[in-house]
Amino acid sequence: MISTVENSEIVVGLDIGTTKVSAVVGEVDEDGITILGVGNVPCRGLRKGVVSNVDWTTRSIAEAIEAAQTMAGVEIRTVYAGVCGSHIRCQPSDGVAAIGGGEVTPTDVDRVLEGARAIPIDADRQILHVLPHEFIVDNQDGIRDPVGMSGVRLGVHVNLITAASSPVQNVIRCAERCGLTVADVVLEPLASADSVLSEDEKEIGVAVIDIGGGTTDVLLYADGGIGHVSVIPVGGNNVTADIAAGLRTPMGEAERLKRKVGCALGRMVDDAEEIEVPGVGGHLSRTAPRRLLSDIIEPRVEEIFAVIRNRVEDTGLYDQLSAGAVLTGGGVLIEGMIEFAEEILGMPVRLGTPIGVRGITQLVDAPQYATGVGLVQYGASALADARGRDLGSSYHEDTLESPVSEERIARSGSRFLSWLRAAF
């Protein structure tokens, strides 16, 4: 979102994941988003979705941005950055406001959302998003967009997404150390969901499950809105570590075996198949049944899906997920994952890759890019919202050039509303 081409703007999503940093560059115009370039660099600076080494993370961000700039041919100064980790919480809240002029205006919506976020939270936490679930005008409930409706009293039910402040600030600090301005911090599963879901799925209820390297994120759409978000601190890296320990092979070889010949469901593997397992610490390679590898992978994957199913059931929304589940994130690429998920979750499951963008889409046509592309989509909605509210150049100056502030994070609630509006 730095260089402005005529009638279009550049928006950059920065996905700082446990295994990699992805910078996705999109050009936004009235026809939508065109992917111009991607920078994807391995990163070892995070543990379970949270920055644990600022130097390593900063270095990976700088390399990813450099690669994305070169490919896209634009200079990147501002990004929409993802945040995640098991410190994320989702809690319901309500707001009520009087409708000023007898008809609901965007200002009334802002005021009622402001009321919904006015609840006590711990001093070391901050509100990331205010996700409206439904509005109520006088006694009429179930309203998705109340603007223009007549009434005297506007109410709202929201889900507040809160995060521990220091992991959020560390993401911002790492980006700033690369000379970048963070326009907004966005919850990663929210971004992933928007890039992989169809409108139909959101409408009838769906679970989005993003299995990354260090975390598994669960986000539920029910009743046309986001009903639940949670982050489980387990992911594909745990599968790799199990393989390394179980087959006594180096981590790098375990990762290679998982990707090339791993299978999440033992019964899909022929008993006669054999694989080559490199030894560790000078031991020679040996052959082993491929079934042995899947016998290591299967229980870990089973555990992950069982935890997800319990989470979903605990929310009481299980029966409302008519579209089933969409699996995304690099961790779902192990053979047999979709079949296994259907079995344990007891619902139809599909693989989710980014949709709704144009341009060099083959660059982002994989589940690992769901978050990066979703961050661009979020940024594009924020821009459209700013224009819709006619904030003009002063908004842009603020958004583009000044560091992310509490106030800006607060505004992301109403931004999210317009994002939802655009989606439905």
Find the shortest distance in angstroms from Cβ 384 to ligand ATP.
26
For the residues of 262-322, what is the DSSP string, one character each? Answer: -BS-GGGS-TT-EEEE--STTPPPEEEEHHHHHHHHHHHHHHHHHHHHHHHHHHT-GGG-T
Phi-psi region for residue 171, left (φ > 0), alpha (ψ -120 to 50) or beta? alpha
CB 159 within 8 A of CB 128: no
Closest to ligand ATP by CB, 99 or 239:
239
The footprint of ligand ATP (CB under 6 A) covers 17-20, 49, 84, 212-215, 235-237, 240, 255, 258-259, 329-331, 333-334, 368
Find the shortest distance in angstroms from Cβ 50 to Mg ion.
12
Number of residues that bind Mg ion (CB under 5 A): 3
Instruction: List helix spans (H) across 73-230.
Output: 106-116, 165-177, 188-196, 199-204
Closest to ligand ATP by CB, 330 or 379:
330
What does 37 bind: ligand ATP, Mg ion, none (CB cut-off 5 to 8 Å by kind)?
A: none
Quote the radius of gyration of the chain (alpha carbons, Å).
22
Phi-psi region for residue 300, left (φ > 0), alpha (ψ -120 to 50) or beta? alpha
Which residues lie across from 276 on neighbouring strands? 287
For residue 350, count CB atoms less than 10 angstroms from its CB and return exposed for 0-12, middle for 13-18, buried for 19 or more: middle
Find the shortest distance in angstroms from Cβ 301 to Mg ion.
17
Closest to ligand ATP by CB, 236 or 379:
236
Kindly state whether residue 331 participates in binding Mg ion, applying the rule CB under 5 A: no
What does 255 bind: ligand ATP, Mg ion, none (CB cut-off 5 to 8 Å by kind)?
A: ligand ATP
What does 155 bind: Mg ion, ligand ATP, none (CB cut-off 5 to 8 Å by kind)?
A: none
Nearest to 399 by CA among 382, 418, 421: 382
Q: DSSP letter at 74?
A: S
Expressed in angstroms, the distance from the first to the final Cα of the chain is 25
For residue 200, count CB atoms less than 10 angstroms from its CB and return exposed for 0-12, middle for 13-18, buried for 19 or more: exposed
Residues 355-394, mask of contacts with Mg ion (x by CB under 5 A): ----------------x-----------------------
What does 368 bind: Mg ion, ligand ATP, none (CB cut-off 5 to 8 Å by kind)?
A: ligand ATP
Find the shortest distance in angstroms from Cβ 113 to ligand ATP.
28
What does 186 bind: Mg ion, ligand ATP, none (CB cut-off 5 to 8 Å by kind)?
A: none
Kindly state whether residue 189 participates in binding Mg ion, applying the rule CB under 5 A: no
Quick one: which of 26, 155, 189, 212 contacts Mg ion (CB under 5 A)? 212
Kindly state whether residue 17 participates in binding Mg ion, applying the rule CB under 5 A: yes
> HSE-up of 300 (CA within 13 Å, CB side)?
26
What does 236 bind: Mg ion, ligand ATP, none (CB cut-off 5 to 8 Å by kind)?
A: ligand ATP
What does 374 bind: Mg ion, ligand ATP, none (CB cut-off 5 to 8 Å by kind)?
A: none
Closest to ligand ATP by CB, 146 or 236:
236
Residues that bind Mg ion (CB under 5 A): 17, 212, 371
